[in-house]
Amino acid sequence: MQDMDALVLRTLKDWLEAGHPALLATVVRTWGSSPRPEGAMMALRGDGQAIGSVSGGCIEDDLIQRFSGPQRAAAVGGQPTRLVRYGVTADEAHRFGLPCGGTLELLLEFAPSLPVLRDLVDRLSRGLLVERIVDGHTGATALAPASQAIDLQWDGATMRNVLGPAWRMLLIGAGAMAQYLATMAQFSGFAVTVCDPREEYWGALDWSALGMPGVRLWHDMPDDAVLAFAPDPRSCIVALSHDPKLDDMALMEALRSPAFYVGAIGSRRNTDSRKDRLKAHFGETDESLSRLHGPVGLYIGSKTPAEIAVSIMAEILAVKNGVALPREMTVEQGKALASAAAP
């Protein structure tokens, strides 16, 4: 499973290799409310096929109408690039479905370089972080290695956009829960690593057959895996093994890292016992353990691995996006409230 940026670029490459004219549209600037962030991309084939999104749909429809089919050649007019703006007036905002006051600017590349695109898709498929640099006037494109993810930069002349697995997830434990959560994480644009030193958990699993060929599989001990993973502020770590010897070792290192999210599965009683162990044997404190999300996930009354994975992914995305969730949405408080309300 690929994130949307990689899917758009790979599809664009395939279209160009097949001889189809195609353009790449990138949101380079927004004002006020906008349906898609800067850096959002859409590829449009000459016959009107499109992939990706730069708005809620109306702008895509306008681009298809203006730059595909018989009118394409006249609309492009031999230009390598064009800057277009939507939502400047209230009438346009209404027409294109933009929120009140919303405006966005797109850089259209009418002739993306196929060799550069091939190189970019190859680097992304290998999990690399890549900066794509585009001359806004000539359309000339260059690639450069990137060390960290940054927001798209546009100064009116040059676009610099870092692509790749900016967000990473390390899962401890290779059971069914990890399979569901890895699927959702990849779909959400995370590069996923699964660690489990227990050989018996790997024998019956075929991650490629599950549609997750990009998941990295490690057999290290969990504390070593966390150190090798080198968490940064765009990383999250979730302990799913149900084995205290494994989960505690991972959490011991994860809680000392700058990871934006650290969580562990388990019941309320198991979570309390885990915190007692971490304080008694690993020197953790109430303050350091306040970073630990556990029981992990949001309370949605789930009991199956798939639904629990949904609740975990929802909590991770909320933390990633800076959303302060009410305490009542935690599993611990949600279960307590449900028990109190039961007849």
214-224 pLDDT, tens digit per residue, is 788 898 999 99
% of the chain with per-residue pLDDT over 90: 42
Q: Give the model's pLDDT for residue 205.
A: 60
| Between residues 340 and 256, the one the model is more confident about | 256
Give the CA angle between residues 254, 128, 19 to the nearest 5°. 145
The rounded mean pLDDT for the chain is 85
Q: How far is CA 39 from CA 30, 49, 163, 180, in A?
A: 10, 21, 9, 28
Give dist(CA 340, CA 284) in Å, integer.
Answer: 31
Which range is least confidently modeled, 101-105, 178-182, 267-271, 288-292? Answer: 101-105
Residue 174 has pLDDT above 70, yes or no: yes
Q: Given phi > 0 = left and psi -120 to 50 = alpha, else beta, which region is 24?
A: beta
Report yes or no: 246 and 266 within 8 Å, Cβ to Cβ. Answer: no
26-74 pLDDT, tens digit per residue, is 999 987 666 678 899 999 999 999 999 888 667 888 899 899 888 887 7
Q: Give the model's pLDDT for residue 147.
A: 80
% of the chain with per-residue pLDDT over 70: 86
Nearest Cα neighbor of 109 from 137, 71, 69 is: 137
Q: What value does the mean pLDDT take over residues 17-26?
A: 95
Residue 1 has pLDDT above 50, yes or no: no
pTM greater than the 0.85 cutoff = no
For residue 194, the surrounding DSSP H or E stretch is: strand 190-195
| Between residues 4 and 90, the one the model is more confident about | 4
Residue 209 has pLDDT above 90, yes or no: no
Q: Give the model's pLDDT for residue 210.
A: 54
- Give the gyration radius of the chain's Cα atoms: 23
Which range is least confidently modeled, 10-14, 129-133, 237-241, 295-299? Answer: 295-299
Q: Give the model's pLDDT for residue 334.
A: 67
Residue 104 has pLDDT above 50, yes or no: yes
Residue 88 has pLDDT above 70, yes or no: no
Query: All domains of the chain, ordered by start, with CATH?
Result: 4-163 (no CATH), 167-341 (3.40.50.720)
Going by C-beta distance under 8 Å and a sequence separation of 6 or more, which residues neighbour residue 98?
A: 33, 34, 35, 55, 58, 86, 87, 92, 104
Q: Give the model's pLDDT for residue 94.
A: 59
Which range is least confidently modeled, 162-166, 276-280, 296-300? Answer: 162-166
Residue 100 has pLDDT above 70, yes or no: no
HSE at residue 58, side-chain half, CA atoms within 13 A, is 13
Backbone angles phi, psi at 71, to 5 degrees: -85, -5
Residue 181 has pLDDT above 90, yes or no: yes
Q: Give the model's pLDDT for residue 151.
A: 86
| Between residues 99 and 18, the one the model is more confident about | 18
Residue recorded with tokens 């569901």: 180
Q: What value does the mean pLDDT take over residues 115-136?
A: 91
Give dist(CA 20, CA 69) in Å, integer.
Answer: 12
Q: State the pLDDT confidence band at 99, using cuts at 50, 70 and 90.
A: low
